[in-house]
Amino acid sequence: MRTDTHTPPFVVSTHTRASQIAAVLAVALVAVLIFLPFFAGRGLIQDMFFILTMLVLAQFWNLLAGYGGMVSIGQQAFVGMGAYAMFGGVILAGMDPIPAILLGGLAAVIVAIPTAFFAFRLQGPYFAIGTWVIAEVMRLSMAQVKALGGGTGTSLPRSATREMWATDWIATVFDVRNSAARDILTYWLALALAAATIAAIYALLRSKPGLALSAVRDNPEAAKSVGVDAGRMKWFVFLTSAFGTGLAGALIYVQKARISPDAAFSVTDWTAYVLFIVIIGGIGTIEGPIIGVIVFFLLQSLLADYGSWYLFTLGIIGIVVMLVAPRGLWGLITDKTGIQLFPVRRRLSGGALDT
């Protein structure tokens, strides 16, 4: 093989100037958001909780579909199972709701294993419909569990919500009632979960398994022939996505404090809206769901009073974006500006490229 000893060595880089600025701004933004409860009203805190939890759900669906190539419409299964596991831990085992959130993630992984066993035998649209059917089975199953309210649902015990970890301290520091303190606590947890989710997915995509994941999405047979364990990558992504979605589901229902099978396993709330967010923002990018959730929240705020017209408008906007900008709003922005805030491309330079 020819090598020229006089040419400089090849260099591989992933950072861009925009990404370095974005990293600094992201740290500053998280710092500002940590202190938001000191100067924001309860309404804004609740809105931010909604945005952050939907962002987490969108990032995990994007990991599954955008990077893993597994288009699921059954993510509500993991939101619902995560939420019900948290309720089970509180009502049946007497746990505090905050540590019980971890049970939500664990339960989602446990149900994801048999789900994957069946769903991985299906391809494309059959996989999508299969995951939806499994989620419906879980909804109907939870409706039979009388200890957790059966079909009509139940609420967290008043003692559990009143004595929730750290709420007394928050109520004292902010001089607010217990329910407002719970909103602040769940907001902080949502912020931590969103920041950790984005950081973890970004780290994954820049790693060796992340590169393999992209290869499997593009061509599983070719990936196998270059030594990639395509099956293990699919399992890893599916279970990771289920874990994160289960945590988010449990957290959402700590804040709501009331659950029913229809709400916790809602395909509209936990999958259709999430799909809209990712598709509008840009599938297969970390930036896409961030843009998408902001657009979704603004549309919801503007159109909330228009009933079913709201859903109709969301559908029309989704179709128009898919036709005009198949890579979403972030795709349009990067096409015009070339900016990447979370670059994962490994760029080769140096060597004969510089001569």
Partner 1 sequence: MPILELKNVSKSFGQLKVTDDVSFSVPEGQALGIIGPNGAGKSTLFNLITGNILSDAGSIAFQDRDVTRVPAMQRCFAGVGRSFQIPQPFDNLTVFENLLVAAMHGRNQSQKEVQQACAQILEQTELLPVANKPAAGLSLLQRKRLEMARALATDPKLLLLDEIAGGLTDAECVALIDTIKSVHARGVTIIWIEHVLHALTSVVERLLVLDFGKVIGIGAPDEIMNRQDVREIYLGIEV
Query: Is 211 near partner 1 (CB under 8 A)?
Result: yes
Query: Is 15 near partner 1 (CB under 8 A)?
Result: no
Question: By CB under 8 A, what part of segment 105-144 binds partner 1?
Answer: none
Query: Is 71 near partner 1 (CB under 8 A)?
Result: no
CB atoms under 10 Å from CB of 266, counted, come to 18
What would the 3-class secondary structure string for 194-241 be?
A: HHHHHHHHHHHHCCHHHHHHHHHHHCHHHHHHCCCCHHHHHHHHHHHH
Selected from 224, 235, 311, 317, the binder of partner 1 by CB under 8 A is 224
Query: Is 219 near partner 1 (CB under 8 A)?
Result: yes
How many angstroms separate the CA atoms of 118 and 121, rounded? 6
Selected from 139, 182, 217, 234, the binder of partner 1 by CB under 8 A is 217
| Residue in the structure block whose two tokens are 């907001």 | 187
Identity of the residue, 215 or 295, whose beta carbon is nearer to partner 1 in the bound complex: 215
Query: Is 5 near partner 1 (CB under 8 A)?
Result: no
> If you ran DSSP here, which 8-state letter would residue 8 be given?
P
Identity of the residue, 221 or 305, whose beta carbon is nearer to partner 1 in the bound complex: 221
Query: Is 2 near partner 1 (CB under 8 A)?
Result: yes
Number of H helices, E strands in the chain: 17, 4
How many angstroms separate the CA atoms of 190 and 53, rounded? 6
Least distance (Å) between residue 347 CB and partner 1: 5
Question: By CB under 8 A, what part of segment 323-342 binds partner 1?
Answer: none
Does residue 128 contact residue 71 with C-beta atoms inside 8 Å?
Answer: yes
Give the number of residues in contact with partner 1, rule: CB under 8 A.
32
Binding string, residues 255-284; x marks residues near partner 1 by CB under 8 A? -----------------------------x
Q: State which amino acid sits at residue 89.
A: G
Q: Which of 243, 294, 300, 290 lies closest to 269 in space, CA to CA?
A: 300
How many angstroms separate the CA atoms of 213 and 229, rounded? 10
Identity of the residue, 11 or 319, whose beta carbon is nearer to partner 1 in the bound complex: 11
Selected from 215, 239, 294, 295, the binder of partner 1 by CB under 8 A is 215
Selected range binding partner 1 among 8-16, 81-89, 90-98, 134-142, rule: CB under 8 A? 8-16
Selected from 15, 158, 258, 345, the binder of partner 1 by CB under 8 A is 345
Give me the half-sphere count of Cα atoms (radius 13 Å) on the Cβ side of residue 233: 28
For 350, phi and psi rounded to 5 degrees?
A: 80, -165
Structure tokens belonging to residue 175: 């001089």
Selected from 22, 73, 79, 230, the binder of partner 1 by CB under 8 A is 230
- Residues near partner 1 (CB under 8 A): 1-3, 9-10, 12, 208, 211-212, 214-215, 217-219, 221-230, 284, 345-348, 351-353
